Amino acid sequence: MKPTSMLLLCLLVWTSCKENSTEGCPSLDQIVSQFTQPTGEEVIIDEDGKVYLIETNGCSYQFDYYPANFLEKNYEVINGKVLIKSPDGNIPTASSAFEDFESYDNALDLFYQTIEEVGEKIWGAFTLQSPSAKTVEEYVALRNCILDGTCDFIDNRFDLVNDPKNITNKCIKFTAVDKTDDMITCKSSMRSSLFYFDKGDDFWFSADFLITGNIPTTLADFENEYFEGSPGPRLLISNDRLAIENKFGAKVIYRHDKDITVPTDQWFNTKVHLKLSDQTDGLVELWQDDVLLLSVSGINMPLANSIQNSIEIGVSATNEACLLFVDNIRIDHEPF
């Protein structure tokens, strides 16, 4: 985790914006969020994404939470369709996707390499954070050389395999090793950044999972890649039960109280529904094998001007070595 992320990860109480006339502070019409930390310090985020700490004699700039005008820089709307700006041409955002892995011959075929492949393929990147590739620079370099064929997997990996419970079916197997003491977590996951979910949108997600051995910490993250720390809700396993955790702010965890645990060595289905909001009128719903585990109101996106554009799935966090099989991933604005 970057040091600048720590300030925003300890947010606790969200408050209404108030006028601030002290030196160096944004004006009222520039403030998009103002909140109090557990220490009692107040923090302001302005419309350009700059984070300020309110001090006795004014405000001090801390860091940029997101780039100024990130939406205008990265997207444009033509005939009602949101497009991602790219040097090679605009790319349509995806409103729905389904992946059952049946049409591929190997795992690296999943990833688009050119703009012409976007749409036919939805996966753009993967992360293999491990003792041999601990830093962002190291695992990005590893990803690039794996994709261009100049190196192979080291510790963590993913493979297109036959379903261990049904050899006629294909799925993806994610392999992760133990993290070392100087690491926060290990990862073996893949990501798509083609989506565009805004405040007020319905987000639906479903996937089948099979865990053998140790249980990973998280199975999927629904992120904003433009904000510091890629905040958003994520599908968590806590005390052997599914939960939804906000990967931002006070890191609220939405838990269920049913006597339903995550199984090992058998497939189970998970479905998530979010009505996206930075306020308590958001909706968080979670199912396991068609059983509704929770349906609660609450915050599930970091700021009103956020978008949730990225889906990371697989072993998106683990402390222990584990194997995770994934199949039948579905994402949509509409219920299914």
Model confidence pLDDT, tens digit, residues 130-188? 999 999 999 999 999 999 999 999 999 999 999 999 999 999 999 999 999 999 999 99
User: HEC states along the chain?
Assistant: CCCCHHHHHCCCEEECCCCCCCCCCCCHHHEEEEEECCCCCEEEEECCCEEEEEECCEEEEEEECCCCCHHHHHEEEECCEEEECCCCCCEECECEEEECCCCCCCHHHHECCCHHHECCECECEEECCECCECCHHHHHHHHHHHHCCCCCCCCCEEEEEEECCEEEEEEEEEEECCCCCCCCCEEEEEEECCECECCCCEEEEEEEEEEECCCCCEEEEEECCCCCCCCCEEEEEECCEEEEEECCCCCCEEECCCCCCCCCCCCEEEEEEEECCCCCCCEEEEEECCEEEEEEECCCCCCCCCCECEEEEEEEEECCCEEEEEEEEEEECCCC
Pair (154, 20) in one structural domain = no
Q: What is the pLDDT of residues 179-211, one digit of tens each?
A: 999 999 999 999 999 999 999 999 999 999 999
Domain that holds residue 167: 72-332
Task: Indicate the number of domains in the chain.
Answer: 2
Q: pLDDT tens for the chain, 336 residues: list them.
A: 444 444 444 433 333 334 444 578 999 889 988 877 767 888 899 999 999 999 988 999 999 999 999 999 999 999 999 999 999 899 999 989 999 999 999 999 999 989 999 989 999 999 999 999 999 999 999 999 999 999 999 999 999 999 999 999 999 999 999 999 999 999 999 999 999 999 999 999 999 999 999 999 999 999 999 999 999 999 999 999 999 999 988 889 999 999 999 999 999 999 999 999 999 999 999 999 999 999 999 999 999 999 999 999 999 999 999 999 999 999 999 999
Residues 31 and 179 occupy one common structural domain = no
Q: Identify which of 7, 9, 31, 3 has the alpha carbon closest to the alpha carbon of residue 18.
A: 31
Vertex 147 angle, CA 142 and 152, to 5°: 55
Q: At 136, which helix (H) or strand (E)?
A: helix 136-147
CATH number of domain containing 200: 2.60.120.200
Considering the domain architecture, whether residues 304 and 219 belong to the same structural domain is answered as yes
Last-in-domain residue among 23, 44, 64: 64
What pLDDT, on a 0 to 100 scale, did the predictor assign at position 56?
Answer: 85
Domain co-membership, 231 together with 268: yes
Do 184 and 145 reside in the same domain of the chain? yes
The pTM assigned to this predicted structure is 0.89
Q: Does residue 215 share a domain with residue 90? A: yes
